[in-house]
Amino acid sequence: MIKSISSFRIYFLVCIITFFYASCNKDSNSGNNNIVNGIIIKESVDGCTYLIKLEDDKLLEPTNLSSFNVTLKDGQLVKFSYKINTTNGSICMMGQIVDLTYIADR
C-alpha cells in the first residue's frame, strides 16, 4: 500500500511538471521577433485599413497597429517585430495576419 502511494505521488509530480513545461509560451515564428523594416500601406478595400509591406513585397495585416504610437499614413517607413497570428481570421484577406510586438517610425 505504501509503495503504491509513493509511486502515485511521483507519477502525479511528473504529470504536473510536464503540464507546466508544456504550457510555457514558446516562440513559434522561428525568427520573426527580429526587427524588420516595412512600409505602412493604406488600403481602401472593404475590410482593410492599414497593411505593412515588407522589403520582399509580402503584405502583413497587423491586428494591433492602433495599440502603438506610430504615424499612420500611406508610405510611412517603419521598423517592427511581430508574431504570426494563427487564431484570427481576416475580412481583408490581403496578407499574413500578425500581432505586432514592437513598431516605430524609421
More confident residue, 8 or 71: 71
pLDDT value at position 44?
87
pLDDT in tens, 36-94: 999 999 998 888 999 999 999 999 999 999 999 999 999 999 999 999 999 998 899 99
pLDDT value at position 29?
42
Longest dimension (CA), the chain: 73
Three-class SS of residue 17?
A: helix
CA distance readout (Å), 105 to 56, 65, 70, 73, 83: 19, 12, 6, 11, 19
Q: Band the pLDDT of 5: cuts 50, 70, 90.
A: low
- The pTM assigned to this predicted structure is 0.68
